[in-house]
Structure 1
């Protein structure tokens, strides 16, 4: 028998304002009592919600699960007003997904990313220098968390330093909550036009950077100029707001857990810093509206059959709080081995940029609190505005002083 309409919970669920770092209480209840259940989205559609870690990993690794937004049953975007759109290859299936992804895998290889660590360290130190030289309190989001990923991606793509200011202003508009859709759209077009122009220059005169690598694919006939521009734009956008929010939200979580903050502030052990990054990625939940997929063939999982044409949503924030995998999951423990988390997904669609994100966060978390050991929030946590309705979770502002 189908479920009665009033028994189907709505998704997304509200978070408890007293516990801003925790998933919504209803998600925890579902994980314990009904780990695979139908939920209702804003448009009335009813995909399956998957809350257990093991089920999420199994489905994310299953070739019968499609990431293509055009697949029948694919869950609609998060709200009538917003959604992620179809960003190049991340919302395609193999073989086209694999073909396009392979073209930009090399720059994100661990060895290449590690070679960027000194440059990222210089950027982090420069931003901290500017903060220390300026007035207090300062908004950590505006002064540090937002500009850092933008400057790093400039370094990776090969954006000329003289163009950084243009790049910064437009990327800020693209992620600023107060920007109108028209302003945001104009900024995207500005940056896309800029990237298309630089790719054109790199076709004529290649350099040792990622835009030249993408331009080479155009020259070889593997990509159109438009596809190359879309790919470059994806690489710019995908890692920007996620990393920025992780920096600010992670700092706030540490300030609320001073014993854990002390571990980072007082160490120069890269292994502890690396462990801290993995635990913060597990504990927090930046992509909090779930990984959305469609099922192309019937799949039996968790004692339930998900039919072909059904949508599924895998909420990593509750998967990463599964007590079967992470004992005492609601406690922040920087010494925990949290490397099995699903913050970056799993399977063929797991985040391409995760080595870069990890390295950026290691430099940030390993530097900020040692350089500013008396860092503190300049407002009560009750006054911090959290991004409950945004596609990427975090804080709008974080006033800090020292």
Structure 2
């Protein structure tokens, strides 16, 4: 049974956590307010463009990583909706439109945040267009509560809520606020973010290496098969974390190339040799059409190996138990073409445009950095990468690298 609509919010009864007001079992509202005119909206968007771009940089990846059903609203400091970021179909009941004032209802989390100059967490019931939607949470964060530049309102199911998430969102909002206060442009902000993350990733990677070494020492004379299996599992997970950080560091740091002459055909054959056990285990047939007269290309062999290893390994895993892996490699018009085809399950059409985005992954435990790094390396050498895929028929990657 839903409680009667509240005439006012009793702030004195609220619990304050990490500079947030937390409202339990609140009936909160998003009424179908009329948007402002297109001309006024365009003016507000231009005025708040720095805010919108900074929020999108930070939150786009978080939304793609979210399990499902999340919406992020970006509004100006008066609560006028400027941008809507959605993930999942479960939030379609929220009939938001750009230019809509979000603050007319007094029990609206946005109105509470602006009035109290606090970040607000509302747990409870959404009233929207006269309909009731239970078990949703709204986290409204002011970008600089002392003198708001704007606000970010995140709506998500109760099941995905945690205090860790709130602290992370708070941290990101503070980061956006500092960036605006310092009048940094988007490129400078991205550079700062990359440097900060890279430094952190290096430190964590070193810690993981130390932990792995001690676990190996502890397991050296172990005879209990259960403890050995646990130890092997821990080492495997540490190696996966190490690989994740390695890819992250590559993605966020400037690239120092070890330039030398490389043979694409030799790199591919070496990879296939190393993956021979995996190919046999998955019962994969090889169809190699690799020219024996390919010219050398200039670049870092380690980076080229990372490109082809990632795509070939993905192709094998996409076929699971059987299939054919076809690799074609030839020289044409001063470029080396490499085509890697599998007969696996294919890539769903709705996510095909996202596979090169950083942190986007459909794999359990995946980081979403593999193909993003691949694309970055290929483009670093003035190359191109294309993908074609059909459901239950397979996927084809084409990599074109210029010969200089």
**TM-score, length-scaled by structure 2:** 0.27
Report the structure number with the largest CA radius of gyration: 2
Greater RCO structure (CA 8 Å; 6+ sep): 1
Name the structure with the higher helix share. 1
Name the structure with the higher strand share. 2
**TM-score, length-scaled by structure 1:** 0.27
